[in-house]
Structure 1
Amino acid sequence: MIRRLKEIENAPMKLLLLADPSESIVIEYLQRGSCYVLEKNNQVIGEYVLIPTRPETIEIVNVAVDESFHGQGFGKKLILHAIEESKKLGYKTIEIGTGNSGVNQLALYQKCGFRMIGIDRDFFVRHYDEPIFENGIQVIDMVRLSMDI
């Protein structure tokens, strides 16, 4: 079951930090957006965060699944839910970004219908104090993807 996190509930910070290592950045976008959680057997095993960015445009800024549940289709379920939720909220475009080294994420987002629209060069160098590595590659650039909904 996927549901919107209630204001009185604490955000699943451990999961959020899997997708974004900066707690201050996570806290900042949680204040501007809505967090949705995926529960299995009363345990939060996944999440995503939506924030409005421009008129008729919303962005998925964080999506993560507990590592013990990887490879079971929960990431895709979260992305498809985010798309449907964004449609219900009246948005016309949904965007998402990922690091240049996120080969699995890039594949997943494209399987869900997103198309690459650009590269934000040096994004992770500008916004994060410590270097981030994924798949043995330094995360430097943000790959931006979009979908008309």
Structure 2
Amino acid sequence: MNELVITRPRQSNEALPKELLMLADPDWLQVEKYLDRSSWIVAEIRGLVIGVCGYMPVDASSAEIMNAAVDPDFQGKGYGKQLILRALEQAMNEGYQKIIVRTGNSSLDQLGLYQKCGFRMVRIERDYFVNNYPEPIYENGIHCRDQVVLEINTRRE
């Protein structure tokens, strides 16, 4: 992993790879709602962007990870975890005390990853994806219907 470079911040006027962003959120209209309002952490290998993680403020003390994605050719190597941990560190340095992340009930790998990063499940929003996305989503052979909300408290005690 020595060749990985994680950078921050990414200028809002710099284009992020659409194909990466859509790995985490298949509805481009949803992505556009938070794209320019988010701070982005970018993972690169030899100048190639292989991962992104964006977060944006919810209120004065909390932020939400809006999109975290790693190119499929580079998944399973710990890069996603590094991106999320860097985003958590950056958000904490900006004064956010709570970070939220939302994912689908069918996103088994993501649910595991977020929990490995210290997130805890706090609630399930039933039928969120059925009611808010134009096309059905299937992952791991499971219909993505419900949104799982996880959070982590970043306060140092």
* TM-score, normalized by the shorter chain, greater than 0.5: yes
Match of 2:22 in 1: 17
Aligned length: 149
CA distance in 2, matches of 1:7, 1:105: 26
CA distance in 2, matches of 1:95, 1:15: 21
Amino acid in the other structure paired with 2:36: Q
Match of 2:148 in 1: 143
CA distance in 2, matches of 1:106, 1:8: 31
Match of 1:45 among 15, 25, 50: 50
Match of 1:57 among 33, 37, 62: 62
Alignment of 1:1-149 (within 5 A): 1-3=5-7, 4-149=9-154
With the length of structure 2 as denominator, give the TM-score of the two structures.
0.92
C-alpha contact (below 8 Å) 1:50/1:60 kept by paired residues:
yes
Q: Deviations over 1:33-55 (max 9, x none)?
A: 12221111000000011011122
Identity of aligned residues (%): 47
Once superposed, what is the RMSD of the aligned Cα atoms?
Answer: 0.9
CA distance in 2, matches of 1:7, 1:78: 18
C-alpha contact (below 8 Å) 1:11/1:35 kept by paired residues:
no
SS in structure 1 of the partner of residue 113 of structure 2: helix
Displacement after TM superposition at 1:61 (Å): 1.0
Displacement after TM superposition at 1:103 (Å): 1.1
C-alpha contact (below 8 Å) 1:131/1:139 kept by paired residues:
yes
SS in structure 1 of the partner of residue 69 of structure 2: strand
SS in structure 2 of the partner of residue 5 of structure 1: coil
Range with bigger deviation, 135-144 or 32-41: 32-41
Amino acid in the other structure paired with 2:66: V
With the length of structure 1 as denominator, give the TM-score of the two structures.
0.96
Q: Structure 1: which 5+ residue stretches go unaligned?
A: none
Displacement after TM superposition at 1:122 (Å): 0.9
